């Protein structure tokens, strides 16, 4: 469509609003002035803008992931599994978007990144409190993030609350027990602040679900949504690791982590171990 054709088509849309002197605009609703003025480069290097925006967009997506995971966890705890399925499916789609973000960041070369890396100081994605909130929501609990934010009360409170709350997998295991499947009391009454460890009774319960899909259809669907979520999460971690390796190689991270070596170690962490182990037994 040419410019004149586009202009003619626009003029033919008689109902399009053009007077916003007393009405809310798209820019107002999204607070775009605030969002688009939040990219503060600390160097004069062209590619620092890419680095900032990719990480800001990732944090926005993570905010939505947390929103969906919290709602899904509450829904399952309230014995309303069906609404949780839509939320968990959405999380998987969001994860795919973050993965594509790493693809964009990988256009940054080592020669370009080194020009502004020192400007980051000790700031690092390793310190992302939203990423830790996601890990907490999925059941991987550690205290190092709490220590980082001891001097920031609001963030510390968010992390502490998530750290002490049942994870998505905790409430899913409770759902297995409500369905009459035998779960060890030590699991049902465990300290949810501790990282989850694989349990034989949970494995047997999920195996029963897969072996009798008709009886346990909702639990079967829940299991597959959890597998989708973890599958995408591992792809997210892998793409992150390869992007970092491509840009800085084996150098330590700006925040003091071992960089790629640390990221390689966490790729094989499982949030829902029994849902993977049963696949060899079905």
Mean pLDDT to the nearest integer, 216-230 = 97
Domain tally for the chain?
1
d(CA 200, CA 135): 23
Binding annotation for substrate: 51-55, 113, 117, 254
Residue 107, in any domain of the structure: yes
How many CB atoms sit inside 10 A of residue 33's CB?
Answer: 10
Alpha-carbon dihedral 135, 239, 90, 155, rounded to 10 degrees: 30
26 — phi, psi (to 5°)? -55, -45
What's the confidence (pLDDT) of residue 11? 62
- Coil, helix or strand for 274? helix
What's the confidence (pLDDT) of residue 3? 76
Residue 20, in any domain of the structure: no
Question: CA dist 143 to 31, 135, 260, Å?
Answer: 34, 12, 21
pLDDT in tens, 248-267: 787 765 555 656 776 777 78
pLDDT in tens, 114-173: 998 988 887 777 789 999 999 999 999 888 878 888 989 999 999 999 999 999 999 999
pLDDT in tens, 173-201: 999 999 999 999 999 999 999 989 999 99
Residue 6, in any domain of the structure: no
pLDDT at residue 18 is higher than 70: no
Q: Minimum mean pLDDT among 20-24, 33-37, 92-96, 234-238: which range?
A: 20-24
Residue 16, in any domain of the structure: no
pLDDT at residue 10 is higher than 60: no
d(CA 81, CA 72): 8
What's the confidence (pLDDT) of residue 143? 86
Q: What kind and span of H or E run contains 58?
A: helix 48-77
Q: How far apart are the first and last CA of the chain?
A: 56
Residue 247, in any domain of the structure: yes
Q: Which of 237, 281, 279 is nearest to 262 (CA)?
A: 237
Binding annotation for heme: 240
Binding annotation: 51-55, 113, 117, 240, 254
d(CA 42, CA 38): 12
According to the per-residue pLDDT averaged within each range, which of 61-70, 135-144, 236-245 is highest?
61-70
Residue 148, in any domain of the structure: yes
CATH code for the domain of 154: 1.20.58.480
More confident residue, 221 or 142: 221
pLDDT in tens, 126-138: 789 999 999 999 9
């Amino acid at each position: 469509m040419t410019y004149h054709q586009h202009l003619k088509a626009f003029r033919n849309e008689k109902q399009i609003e053009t007077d916003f002197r007393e009405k809310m605009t798209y820019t107002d609703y999204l607070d775009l002035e605030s969002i688009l003025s939040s990219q503060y480069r600390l160097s004069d290097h062209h590619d620092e803008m890419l680095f900032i925006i990719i990480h800001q967009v990732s944090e926005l997506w993570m905010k939505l992931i947390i929103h969906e995971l919290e709602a899904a966890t509450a829904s399952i705890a309230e014995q309303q599994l069906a609404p949780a399925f839509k939320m968990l499916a959405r999380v998987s789609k969001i994860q795919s978007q973050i993965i594509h973000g790493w693809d964009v960041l990988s256009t940054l070369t080592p020669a370009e990144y080194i020009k502004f890396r020192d400007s980051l100081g000790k700031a690092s994605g390793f310190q992302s409190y939203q990423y830790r909130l996601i890990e907490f929501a999925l059941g991987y609990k550690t205290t190092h993030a709490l220590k980082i934010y001891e001097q920031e009360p609001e963030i510390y409170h968010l992390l502490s609350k998530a750290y002490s709350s049942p994870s998505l997998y905790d409430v899913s295991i409770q759902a297995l027990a409500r369905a009459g499947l035998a779960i060890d009391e030590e699991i049902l009454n465990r300290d949810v602040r501790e990282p989850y460890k694989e349990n034989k009774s949970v494995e047997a319960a999920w195996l029963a679900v897969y072996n009798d899909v008709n009886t346990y259809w909702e639990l079967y669907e829940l299991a597959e949504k959890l597998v989708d979520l973890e599958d995408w999460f591992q792809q997210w971690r892998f793409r992150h690791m390869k992007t970092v390796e491509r840009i800085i190689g084996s150098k330590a991270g700006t925040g003091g982590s071992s960089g790629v070596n640390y990221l390689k170690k966490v790729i094989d962490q499982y949030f829902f171990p029994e849902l993977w182990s049963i696949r060899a037994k079905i």
